[in-house]
Amino acid sequence: MNSKIEAALNEQIKKEEFSSRLYLSMAIWAEINGFPGAANFLYKHTEEERMHQMKFVHYVNERGGRAALMDVEKPQDKFDSLKDVFKQIFDHEVYITGSINELFGLANDEKDYTTANFLQWFITEQLEEENLMRTILDKINLVGSDKAGMFHIDKELDILAASQGSSQQ
Ligand code: FEO
């Protein structure tokens, strides 16, 4: 595997690891701030990011490269509200989509079509993740500060977490 591609994939391993830690930090916040459904959803999402990280790890190694772990910064652990949490998740997923797109562009520039093909799964996944987070954020914006509305959203997130659990790879 081309060393440029290997280095870029290893950077992505770090980003997926950070995503997992960021969502874990958010899950902890949600759990101790009275949002058990959101906490379940975020704990599940932490595992999903770990699964993304592992996909990259195995891919780099299978292609004859070496997956490398790097220092990962401590994620934020204070949030203003559940809305703040989901706004930050949405922004973070947009950032990750940009990163995957750059990787895809690099793979094509380097004529590494096997890596470009591998990245297709992530391109589809990012579209789904952005849509999911946008939908949740829209609902939170809609209820505003209405407590009953927030309670309902938390219940919905709990149901979503249960369905994610059964569909996880
Ligand atoms: Fe690994 Fe949420 O994207």
Give 47's Cβ-side CA count (13 Å radius): 12
The C-alpha torsion from 57 through 63 and 66 to 70, rounded to 10°, is -40
CA 95 to ligand 1 center in whole angstroms: 10
Give the residue numbers spanning the domain of 56.
Answer: 3-167
Ligand 1, atom 1, lies closest to the CA of 49
**Token code pair at residue 136:** 């949740």
CA 90 to ligand 1 center in whole angstroms: 10
Give the predicted TM-score (pTM) of the model.
0.94
The CATH number covering residue 162 comes to: 1.20.1260.10
* Domain total in the chain: 1
pLDDT value for 168:
44
pLDDT digits (tens, 9 = 90+) for 121-157: 999 999 999 999 999 999 999 998 899 999 999 999 9
96 lines ligand 1 (CB under 6 A): yes
